[in-house]
Amino acid sequence: MSQSPAPHVLHVTGARPNFPKAAPVIRALDGLGVRQVLVHTGQHYDPVMSEVFFQQLGLPEPDVNLGVGSGSHAHQTAKVMTELEDMFVAERPDLVVVYGDVNSTVAASLVAAKLQIPVAHVEAGLRSFDRTMPEEVNRIVTDSLADLLFTTSPDANVHLGSEGVAADKIHFVGNPMIDTLLANLDAFDADAARAQLGLEGPYVVATLHRPANVDDPAQAGSIVKALHGVADRTPVVIPLHPRGRKSFQSAGLMDHPAIQVIDPLGYVEFIGLVRGSLAVITDSGGVQEETTMLAVPCLTLRPNTERPVTITHGTNQLVTQHDLADRLESIIDGTRTSDGVTPPLWDGHAGERIAAVIVRFLAR
């Protein structure tokens, strides 16, 4: 009598923010002997945005790279769905694990749900309550379809409960991206980052990519003016994504001599640069979390955040382009500091907790 194949898990990653979250989960499941398949949709296809992460984080090479590339939200999501449907039918995984809030995440969740394959969502329950953000729509849809919802902060549990998600589906496990940060602390070399970029003395890092900040010429121009005001006080280093480079260049970003625009960096190089900085200006959710753990002041150029724990337990504060320079001044003066309280369960063991829940789920 032949034995049925061992249950297996299929992970779907697609963009830079997914990889630091997936690495601890894949590693922990591997330690428990779980059969796994890793799919990279290729939503981010630049080597610095994807391939370098597999090398630096010790991730196994993807079993499949779909190579979907860029496109509008609808075209990109549709292409991922089409490619994944064929794969899911062939593989018939026992569980599909998705990460974060990118288009690949919602695409995989939709396909799996229609094929009646269970879905686990790592980083569930985050809400900005701003549906003009494509990521917010992706979060809501993914969470409504997921069978296992892994949350990084207590407020996420509250959001899911208020949306009617059954309590036995929700698991507060902590933040796997922080697992990756803590595991690589010794590799984040601020001195090497300074030397490579010729930086002497204090500097600020800026990283901006959200459509609301970079796609509208008037908004981009207003942000550039604010960054010039920051650069009047201290040098600014900006790793620019391709989507933001054109609009910021058109608005005169590089006209200020104290602003240094560079290409996107690998994970280790970027966090090293952040670790040595006076402060970070960002619109990225992940950077809000990383700066919280590194005790680096974070100025989030957004009207809202889906990660309020980085404000209540971290170094983050929401700013506008109009008060950005003044908020930075308070950091330079030393009047705005963190209380040093770490968010609960951000202890480097979230991946292990996630893996334990998944193993129990598969056993059922």
Q: According to the model, what pLDDT value does residue 52 have?
A: 73
List, in order of start, the domains of the chain with CATH numbers.
8-175+346-363 (3.40.50.2000), 185-332 (3.40.50.2000)
Catalytic residues: 209
Q: How far apart are CA 86 and CA 8, in angstroms?
A: 17
pLDDT at 123 over 70: yes
Chain segment 66-113, per-residue pLDDT in tens:
888 777 889 999 999 999 999 999 999 999 999 999 999 999 999 999
156-185 mean pLDDT: 97
14-33 mean pLDDT: 94
For residue 35, which phi and psi values (nearest 5 degrees)?
Answer: -75, 130
For residues 285-298, b (16+ Cβ closer than 10 Å) or e, as one string?
Answer: bbbbbbbbbbebbb
pLDDT at 51 over 80: no
Pairwise pLDDT comparison (225 vs 241), residue with the higher score: 225
Q: How far apart are CA 256 and CA 269, in angstroms?
A: 24
Q: Residue 1 — very low, low, confident or very high, per pLDDT cuts 50/70/90?
A: very low
Chain segment 200-234, per-residue pLDDT in tens:
999 999 999 888 898 889 999 999 999 999 999 99
Question: In angstroms, how far is the first alpha carbon of the chain from the final one?
Answer: 22
Chain segment 294-313, per-residue pLDDT in tens:
999 999 999 999 999 999 99
42-71 mean pLDDT: 75
- Ranges assigned E (strand) in 212-356: 236-239, 259-262, 279-282, 298-300, 316-318
Q: According to the model, what pLDDT value does residue 341 have?
A: 78
What is the pTM for the complete model shown? 0.94
pLDDT at 251 over 60: yes
Q: How far apart are CA 219 and CA 38, in angstroms?
A: 39
Q: How far is CA 10 from the centre of its chain?
A: 20
Q: How far apart are CA 96 and CA 119, in angstroms?
A: 5
Tell me if 19 sits within 8 A of 42, measured CB to CB: no
> Across the strands, what pairs with 120?
97, 148
pLDDT at 153 over 50: yes
Q: According to the model, what pLDDT value does residue 339 have?
A: 63
Tell me if 103 sits within 8 A of 77, measured CB to CB: yes
Say what angle helices 285-294 and 267-275 make with each other, to 10 degrees. Answer: 50
Q: According to the model, what pLDDT value does residue 126 have?
A: 98
Mean pLDDT for the chain overall: 92
